[in-house]
Structure 1
Amino acid sequence: MAGNPLMRRRILMVLAAAPLLPCKLVFATLPARPVTIGVLPGPHAEILACVRDVAAAQGLDLRIVERSDGQAINADVTRGRLDAACFQDGVSFARDRARHGNELIEATRTVTQPVALYSRRITSPRQLGRGATLAIPRDPLLQARALVLLHNHGLVVLRDDAGLTATTRDVIGNRHQFRLDPLPAGRLADALYRVDLAVIDRPAAARAGLLPARDSIGVEDARTPWSDVLAVRAADRSADWVGTLVASYRSEPVKRFILERYQESVRRPW
């Protein structure tokens, strides 16, 4: 072929007609190794499996690493053993950053696993009678989230400066004299047989076979401060793979998967 002028001329014509590829853009989105994301088992792992398929079409190789210990996931991201963490709600994440001074930042909001109101006695919060018993989480972080939800439904009034760390001491309005009964998260679903209403987080509800969209009588807004976050190291904030990962998470296929798989029991804040 090297000695055939006609063949050589045809090859040159083909190369000249080929479109020029934007090499910098193509290679900028391709890390030298797979991007590893630490998650807890459950919705985050399931959703990221869909994200992985979308990202692969963009040249990004995602590896999902399931762990049972969220704090260990954050520690491994900080140390460079993982590239990202996807499991923690935004309020807890901000608290841990302030408390421990870790080097992680929020890359994007992912989904909201909503706290919701459940009852076996009524079908609307407006049906609660005077002196009704409302079971709420005993855990301080979950309790604040539950009280904000009760406040938003007009069942109690919180002081203006209670913020995202509200406790029962911050309840300044309770005109129907509801009795607030703090319980461990694992006992809230069982308490439905004796209390008038219980505020239950999604993981505890799911273990009891309850779904917010199907079984609750009031549900947390998707754009709550407690929506979950995708966290990365601060040094990686401008990395091309982070932008590709965020765009893949917020893509139409992932949006459709979340809606079809969870039917608003896992919600999108975006």
Structure 2
Amino acid sequence: MKRLLTILFATMLFLAACNSAKETNETTDGAASDDVVKIKVASLIPPMTDMLEAVKPALKEDGVDMEIVILGDNVQPNQALKDKEVDANFFQHPPYMEQFNEAHNANLVVVQPVYHAMLGAYSNKYNHVDELPEGAEVAVPNDSSNLARALLLLEKGGLITLKEDVGLTATQKDIVDNPKNLKITEVDLLMLARTIDDVDLVTMLPAYAEPLGLTPKNDSLIDEGESDFPIVVVAREDNANDEAIQKLAKHMAGPEIAKFIEENFSDTYMTASE
């Protein structure tokens, strides 16, 4: 009888130990699951979406599960970020972000510059700006920061002259000389590529020229050269220093993106660290 009690006691101890180990493993597994932070990052089109995809695996290994939210126009990503529907976005340069902040009383901030995109002026009808006829139609972006950038590009090409030192506040009202009497038509940024067959000249960023098989270095009649408009990761003031956002920034400035640009867009983009 004494021996039977001993066996029963030993069995109970063994089962208790098994249950304890199981509970420990479940707790550990749950903690590991809880350690993965989920974030949403809004974007628009390639190559921005492709770059986000390129860093997803490394970011996941770093404890951040990123969902890429693809939106339909160039206002939605900032509005979604302001409304806390997403945690960050990646599609714009700082002047565009600042324009949104001013217009919408927002507090978006730059977290990480990633790459430079060169603005170019393209034509399916002419090979040089000197060939543009009197009254030629030129399509440019209709948002203020990119409009000013396009007007500065046209000035660089000798097509117009702007008021001195007008810079990124330039509008068509600041044109003081237009020798060819160009008709400058303002178009939504996402629609510019569709105008290339209908106008004489169109100013586009590489993300919109690339699907047409065009690059600024090889195909533009005027190119911007080195740009002061890096495409940046943007967050809000209240979450910009969160660990997950900082990890995203680290990877977007890391070797994954440098390799992606070198292998796919060496004649179109350069990393912001270059």
TM-score by length of 1: 0.72
**CA 1:256–1:130: 2 relative to 1, 3 Å:** same
Question: Among residues 88, 99, 107, which one is paired with 2:92 in the alignment?
Answer: 88
1:247 corresponds in structure 2 to 250
Between the aligned partners of 2:135 and 2:54, the Cα distance in structure 1 is 43
2:180 corresponds in structure 1 to 178
Between the aligned partners of 1:267 and 1:34, the Cα distance in structure 2 is 29
2:82–2:106 Cα contact (<8 Å) kept:
yes
Q: What is the SS of the residue equivalent to 2:227?
A: coil
Between the aligned partners of 2:42 and 2:141, the Cα distance in structure 1 is 28
Aligned residues: 234
Between the aligned partners of 2:251 and 2:204, the Cα distance in structure 1 is 31
How much has 1:167 moved relative to structure 2?
Answer: 2.1
How much has 1:122 moved relative to structure 2?
Answer: 5.3
Which piece of structure 1 moves more, 32-41 or 209-218? 209-218
**CA 1:191–1:113: 2 relative to 1, 3 Å:** farther
Q: What is the SS of the residue equivalent to 1:81?
A: coil
**1:130-173: per-residue Cα shift (whole Å, max 9, x none)?**
85736132625343221111223444332124221312321234
Between the aligned partners of 2:202 and 2:69, the Cα distance in structure 1 is 34
Identity %: 22
How much has 1:82 moved relative to structure 2?
Answer: 1.7
Question: Among residues 36, 60, 63, which one is paired with 2:67 in the alignment?
Answer: 63
Q: What is the SS of the residue equivalent to 1:48?
A: helix
2:42 corresponds in structure 1 to 38
2:37–2:244 Cα contact (<8 Å) kept:
no
How much has 1:54 moved relative to structure 2?
Answer: 3.2
2:110–2:232 Cα contact (<8 Å) kept:
yes
1:115 corresponds in structure 2 to 119
2:41–2:66 Cα contact (<8 Å) kept:
yes
Is residue 2:201 matched to residue 1:190?
no
Letter in 1 for 2:257: V
**CA 1:60–1:139: 2 relative to 1, 3 Å:** same
Q: What is the SS of the residue equivalent to 2:232?
A: strand
Q: What is the SS of the residue equivalent to 1:68?
A: coil
2:150 corresponds in structure 1 to 146
Higher Rg: 2
Q: What is the SS of the residue equivalent to 1:253?
A: helix
Letter in 1 for 2:106: N
In structure 2, runs of 5+ residues without a counterpart are 1-33
2:237 corresponds in structure 1 to 234
**CA 1:222–1:111: 2 relative to 1, 3 Å:** farther
**1:165-198: per-residue Cα shift (whole Å, max 9, x none)?**
3123212345xx2232223435541145xx3x44
How much has 1:57 moved relative to structure 2?
Answer: 4.2
How much has 1:32 moved relative to structure 2?
Answer: 5.1
1:115–1:200 Cα contact (<8 Å) kept:
yes
**CA 1:232–1:138: 2 relative to 1, 3 Å:** closer
Question: Among residues 211, 215, 229, which one is paired with 1:211 in the alignment?
Answer: 215
2:118–2:227 Cα contact (<8 Å) kept:
no
Between the aligned partners of 1:209 and 1:249, the Cα distance in structure 2 is 26
Question: Among residues 258, 265, 270, which one is paired with 2:268 in the alignment?
Answer: 265
Is residue 2:228 matched to residue 1:224?
yes
Q: What is the SS of the residue equivalent to 1:34?
A: strand
**RMSD value over aligned CA atoms?**
3.0
In structure 1, runs of 5+ residues without a counterpart are 1-29
Between the aligned partners of 2:161 and 2:169, the Cα distance in structure 1 is 14
Is residue 2:54 matched to residue 1:47?
no
Question: Among residues 106, 109, 114, which one is paired with 2:110 in the alignment?
Answer: 106
Question: Among residues 53, 78, 83, which one is paired with 2:82 in the alignment?
Answer: 78
Between the aligned partners of 1:190 and 1:58, the Cα distance in structure 2 is 46
